[in-house]
Amino acid sequence: MHTYKTLTLAEAHTILDAAQTKAEELGVPEVLCVADNAGYPIALRRLDGGKVTSVQIAMNKAFTAAGHRKPTHVYKNALPGEEAFGIFTQHEGRFTVFVGGFPIFVDGQCVGSISASGGNGEQDIACCEAGIAAFMTALKK
């Protein structure tokens, strides 16, 4: 039998609060998603002005990051003719290689993920990193 840890709703809001603060500092209307260890949304936040098309993208980034236990931007071999080409067709097209999805690890175990959609790659990464940092800080308390 396996025992898995996953994020709580309160922890998801801690992560989203920090990611939202970063998005607002950057002036980017992000859509932010925190998912459980299986990649399914716990909480989603569409900031004022966030694109409706970014909602599904954020959910897919979170799904990919948690499910595959890797940041979404590490798939450098997904171009035509390369080893992982076509990976984005998996899971009914939910698997995404866009920048902006990160797994969250505690004691070496993936407990969930965060994603951001709506900014450029650097902005999405900054929002995700801010959320993860806030969560790690809260864990130490």
**What is the pLDDT, as a whole number, of residue 115?**
98
At 99-127, the pLDDT tens digits run 999 999 999 999 999 999 999 999 999 99
Q: What average pLDDT is seen over the chain?
A: 93
**What is the pLDDT, as a whole number, of residue 8?**
97
Q: What is the DSSP string of the chain?
A: --------HHHHHHHHHHHHHHHHHHT---EEEEE-TTS-EEEEEE-TT--THHHHHHHHHHHHHHHHTS-GGG-TT-STTSTTTTGGGTGGGT----S-EEEEEETTEEEEEEEEESS-HHHHHHHHHHHHHHHHHHHH-
Residues 6+ positions from 39 with CB-CB distance below 8 Å:
62, 63, 64, 65, 66, 67, 113
At 3-51, the pLDDT tens digits run 899 999 999 999 999 999 999 999 999 999 999 999 999 999 999 999 9
Residue 95 pLDDT level (bands cut at 50, 70, 90) = confident
**What is the pLDDT, as a whole number, of residue 83?**
74
Instruction: Tell me the pTM.
Output: 0.92
**What is the pLDDT, as a whole number, of residue 110?**
98
Helices 9-26 and 121-140, packing angle to 10 deg: 140
